[in-house]
Amino acid sequence: MCAGLVALIGAAGSVATLTLLWLAAGAASSLIWAGLNTLTIEAVPANRAGATSVISAFKFAGNAAAPLLWLPLYHADPRLGFVGAGLLAAATAAFILPLRVPR
């Protein structure tokens, strides 16, 4: 859901639509980070602090690298930057889903 919302931001036709999409994507992103942290500590119960630290390091490194990755696409066409970010966000499911611990 979050990946789809991010991809749609580039196609927003009005300020109101952009605002709603940005708000929804931000809320969905917050839920994803909370869920990812929960999955991480469940997957590595012996080293919860270390596992959470690794996730946080990747989160902040990704935020720092994002302008280098997305700005050339955004410069070519703003929609490309947001679609690219949405596609990469969707691709992360391949890495996150294996962390699920059966209950």
What's residue 37's pLDDT? 86
| More confident: 33 or 23 | 23
Number of domain units in the chain: 1
Model confidence pLDDT, tens digit, residues 43-66: 888 999 998 899 889 889 988 998
State the pTM of this model.
Answer: 0.72
Residue 1, C-beta contacts closer than 8 angstroms, at least 6 positions apart: 28
Q: Give 12's Cβ-side CA count (13 Å radius).
A: 18
Q: Give 83's Cβ-side CA count (13 Å radius).
A: 7
Model confidence pLDDT, tens digit, residues 70-95: 899 989 998 898 898 889 888 888 88
| pLDDT above 90 (res 19) | yes
| pLDDT above 70 (res 101) | no
Domain span holding position 24: 2-99
